[in-house]
Structure 1
Amino acid sequence: MSIPLELLAFAGVLALGQFSPGPDMLLLTRTALRDGARNGVVMAWGIATGLSLHAALAIGGMAVVFERVAWLRDGMRWVAAGYLAWLGYRMIVEWFVHVYSGARYDELKPTTSKSAFVQGLLCNLLNPKVVVFLAAVVAPFLAGDRPAWWPWALWAIIVFEGLTLWALWALVLQIKSIREGYRRAGPWITLGFGLVLLGLAVMLLVR
């Protein structure tokens, strides 16, 4: 297979993993729907920043060490589960405030751009499964005789594709019909997202 086709195949595998259900996609979807395109794109930058570190670890071989050092892996799982549980709790509280206070949902205080970036960064950075997934995807593409720039190309594809596709997703969610549907069902979507995040937190601990 030629180098361009290999890089294209690598990008395709990454895209499939990126759009599988997970904390990053869930949090980004909710933020883009609730707070608009700007905060959605800013959160995409935060996620991609965390992804840049995970990609470096995966390509550099540190993912193997991370997977084998049980206390480090387990510690990260507990921290990630705690963070996801906190995000889920906040969403459920937001739903409760709306339902029982009578406040209009579109008047609730939006997430700031700084907070959106930090939330995206921590959501990705604290998830120990990201580096393990990337290591599994990268390994076959590092095998064999490769030019010196090859690992850098894989790293750049991971970060650039992550940022671009997540940012585009945030923009797609601004389509008028989608936004109108969210305004009608926003509180219940937020409640659902909060419960799913709590479920993901539990799954991190029981696996």
Structure 2
Amino acid sequence: MDYLGALLAISGVLALSVVSPGPNFAIVTSTATLRSRRAGVATGLGMSAASATWTLLAVAGLGLIVSQVEWLHLGIRLLGAAYLIWLGGRMILGARKAPLATPERLESSPIAAARKGYLVSMTNPKALAFYGSIFAVMVPAHAPVWFYAAIVVIAALVSGTWYCSMALLFSRPGVRGGFMRFKAVFETLMGSFLLVMGGKLLLSR
């Protein structure tokens, strides 16, 4: 069995999944821009931990089980929708409030930022569907333990590299300065995006 080829294929699929725009991208970029670089990177690391968690569940077979149990899937979807709507509403309500301090002083604690990133990723039912299906299809049957461990590490690295890179980019002074000049518009757009994503999850069947 060509385990190296399988790992490369899985890595490519994971990379494509994280670069596609979604709630994770909105949260990490808004945190890095409106809070601080450290908070943005911590959010990205939280998302990396969530990717590792989903991968562990998938390789253990739990992800596929949850995706097939209707009430569990419904619970995750409703929880994720409510969380996104709550985040979006908070962002919109605070959009026109002038900052009372510099972005550095507004910084969320790294633990709080990481927790937010982790919760956004873990309550995303698309992640459940993705990990539950992709590993059922792409992971070879009866693969050795080291292969499963490698998948978990790769998932965490791919996710962490992308989202932390986005945090570093959007926290650069030039980028942050541009966004801070349009703070109300930026937060309103990001908040509206999260509300729409939450609404779609809430109304989807």
The alignment's TM-score, normalised by the length of structure 1, stands at: 0.88
* Match in the other structure for 1:6: 6
* Match in the other structure for 2:139: 142
* 1:58–1:132 Cα contact (<8 Å) kept: no
Q: 1:7 offset after TM fit, Å?
A: 2.0
* Match in the other structure for 1:67: 67
Q: Distance in 1 between matches of 2:166 and 2:119?
A: 19
What are the superposed Cα offsets for residues 79-129 of structure 1, whole Å, 9 maximum, x if unpaired? 11111111011101111333xxxx568568443323211211111112222
Specify every segment of 5 or more residues in structure 2 that has no aligned partner in the other structure, as ranges: none
Confirm whether residue 183 of structure 1 aligns to residue 180 of structure 2: yes
Secondary structure of residue in 1 paired with 2:138: helix
Between structures 1 and 2, the one with greater helix share: 1
What are the superposed Cα offsets for residues 152-175 of structure 1, whole Å, 9 maximum, x if unpaired? 111111112211221122112233
Q: Distance in 1 between matches of 2:61 and 2:141?
A: 15
**AA partner of residue 149 (structure 1):** W
Secondary structure of residue in 1 paired with 2:21: coil
Q: Where do 1:1-207 residues align within 5 Å?
A: 2-98=2-98, 106=102, 109-144=106-141, 146-207=143-204
**Number of residue pairs the alignment of both structures matches:** 203
Secondary structure of residue in 1 paired with 2:96: helix
Secondary structure of residue in 2 paired with 1:49: helix
What are the superposed Cα offsets for residues 128-180 of structure 1, whole Å, 9 maximum, x if unpaired? 22122022222333134633321111111111221122112211223343223
Specify every segment of 5 or more residues in structure 1 that has no aligned partner in the other structure, as ranges: none
Q: Distance in 1 between matches of 2:65 and 2:142?
A: 23
Secondary structure of residue in 2 paired with 1:39: helix
**AA partner of residue 27 (structure 2):** L
